[in-house]
Amino acid sequence: MNIKEWLEENDYRDVLSKIRRVEEGWEKKGTGTRRNWADVLAGHEDGSPRIVEGIKFPVLRAARERKGWANVDGSICRRPNEKMPPVIRQKRWEKFSGHSPNKKQTTA
């Protein structure tokens, strides 16, 4: 399951709508921009929300937990025990030194 599917299934359709709005804008511009939405939804490490293309995204508790960050006041959790899907290491990451491999992650 990917992050967008998880958002749909866990009652975050409002957040998914914001993501789609941003991606539609990129598509109209013809950019090949990609975004790790789970990272965006984790906010900044201090718990403040991230802004992408002028759109402010909420901080989700499950996204922070996925990154191993502490929960913060104001983070959203709509279902008890919700857990985002784990990181799936992407083949394209191998060419970038900025992504450190994690042996627990699987490659897609």
* Residue boundaries of the structural domains of the chain: 3-107
pLDDT tier, 98 (very low <50, low <70, confident <90, very high otherwise)? low
pLDDT tier, 103 (very low <50, low <70, confident <90, very high otherwise)? very low
pLDDT at 35 over 50: yes
pLDDT at 106: 45
pLDDT at 33 over 50: yes
Structure token pair of residue 94: 């191998």
Residue 16 makes CB contacts below 8 A (sequence gap 6+) with 4, 7, 8
pLDDT at 93: 56
pLDDT at 54 over 70: yes
**Amino acid occupying residue 96:** F
| Stretch 76-94: mean pLDDT | 85
pLDDT at 94 over 90: no
pLDDT at 96: 60
Establish how many alpha carbons lie within 13 A of residue 56's alpha carbon, considering only the half-sphere containing its beta carbon: 3
| Stretch 50-76: mean pLDDT | 97
| Stretch 82-101: mean pLDDT | 71
pLDDT at 48: 98
The total number of residues shown for the chain amounts to: 108
